[in-house]
Amino acid sequence: MMPSIDRAFFTLAVLAGLAGMLLGIQMGMAHDFQLVPVHTHINLVGWVSLALFGIGYRLGLAKGGGLAVIHFWVAAAGAILLPVGIYLATTRQQEAVVIIGSVLVLASMLLFLVNVVRAWNTPAAAG
């Protein structure tokens, strides 16, 4: 069973945060900072952005429902494919995945905008 949309976003955000931190620790231990852009995008597109989406849905600042579920899967795919794509572009000069990941991350923010605007006329939890 899928959890509510706010919890789904927040759980994936925490998992991304853990992955980003582990990569940060690994980079520090190895004194190899080639993957800093991968680390920053796991943390900022994964942990921070997904957590903000989850909080937005939780507070009623964005409207839940079917479009929010589509938003979740687009955001999840983007949060995974963008750092993987940056890794492939950095280490193997392969750019296809980073392009797909970028478009998904942009699409996810546009879907969030739609759900934020759709929530304009509903009362937010925080008033």
- Report the alpha-carbon distance of residue 89 to residue 49 in Å, rounded: 22
Select the residue interacting with ligand HEM from 3, 7, 11, 25 (CB under 6 A): 25
Please identify, among the stretches 5-13, 35-43, 62-70, 72-80, the one whose residues bind ligand HEM according to the rule CB under 6 A: 35-43
Report the nearest approach of ligand HEM to the CB of residue 32 (Å).
Answer: 9
CB of 20 closer than 8 Å to CB of 42: yes
Tell me: does residue 115 bind ligand HEM (CB under 6 A).
Answer: no
Tell me: does residue 24 bind ligand HEM (CB under 6 A).
Answer: yes
Tell me: does residue 43 bind ligand HEM (CB under 6 A).
Answer: yes
Binding residues for ligand HEM, rule: CB under 6 A, are 20-21, 24-25, 27-28, 33, 36, 39-40, 43-44, 47-48
